[in-house]
Amino acid sequence: MIRIIYDAESGSVLHNKYFSDNHLALNLARHPNWRVHATTGKLPGTITDKFVNLDTLEIETRPHVPDIPGHVRLMRSHLLAASDWTQNPDVPMTAEKRSEWTAYRQALRDLPDNVAGITAIDDIPWPVKPT
């Protein structure tokens, strides 16, 4: 039997493994907010996405919440670095094309301010790269 240790206040699963009775008693004595949920099956996935519903004592999976601002900053930095070459004065480019690239890069810089309220990565309004 697997004993799942969880925090009684948050429901977060802390441990998902076999515990001897002595080891379990020692840990519960040290951590008064910890509780035990016994199960015969193994939890799929990792314990970081699991919690114990404190009303039903059922083990549930936390919905994945993407880090939209973090994703935007990471991708924006990559896209800006990939377009740095366009700002070199030695690059043979028309003034109109250089202006398009400058506007694209500014739109990338402004992007973190424009993602408030977005909950899905696919909904991020990425600017269109000049051709």
Asked if residue 128 belongs to a domain, the reply is no
Task: Identify whether the C-beta of residue 124 lies closer than 8 Å to the C-beta of residue 68.
Answer: yes
Rounded to whole angstroms, what are the CA distances from 84 to 21, 68, 90?
Answer: 61, 24, 12
pLDDT digits (tens, 9 = 90+) for 40-51: 555 444 445 566
Structural domain including 31 reads 2-61
pLDDT digits (tens, 9 = 90+) for 72-127: 888 899 999 999 999 998 999 999 999 999 999 999 999 878 787 887 778 888 89
Instruction: Please tell me whether residues 42 and 80 are part of one structural domain.
Output: no
Instruction: Please tell me whether residues 81 and 116 are part of one structural domain.
Output: yes
Rounded to whole angstroms, what are the CA distances from 34 to 14, 23, 31, 62?
Answer: 9, 13, 6, 19
Residue with the bigger pLDDT between 47 and 54: it is 54
Instruction: Please tell me whether residues 9 and 30 are part of one structural domain.
Output: yes
Asked if residue 16 belongs to a domain, the reply is yes
The tokens 């016994």 sit on which residue?
38
Question: Would you give the distance in Å from CA 103 to the centre of its chain?
Answer: 30
**Could you say which of 61, 91, 109 is where a domain stops?**
61
Instruction: Please tell me whether residues 54 and 78 are part of one structural domain.
Output: no
Q: Domain tally for the chain?
A: 2
β-strands 59-61, 50-52: how paired?
Answer: antiparallel
Instruction: Please tell me whether residues 41 and 91 are part of one structural domain.
Output: no
**Could you say which of 40, 61, 82 is where a domain stops?**
61
Instruction: Please tell me whether residues 7 and 23 are part of one structural domain.
Output: yes
First to last CA, the chain: 60
d(Cα 61, Cα 52) in Å, to the nearest integer? 9
d(Cα 75, Cα 101) in Å, to the nearest integer? 17
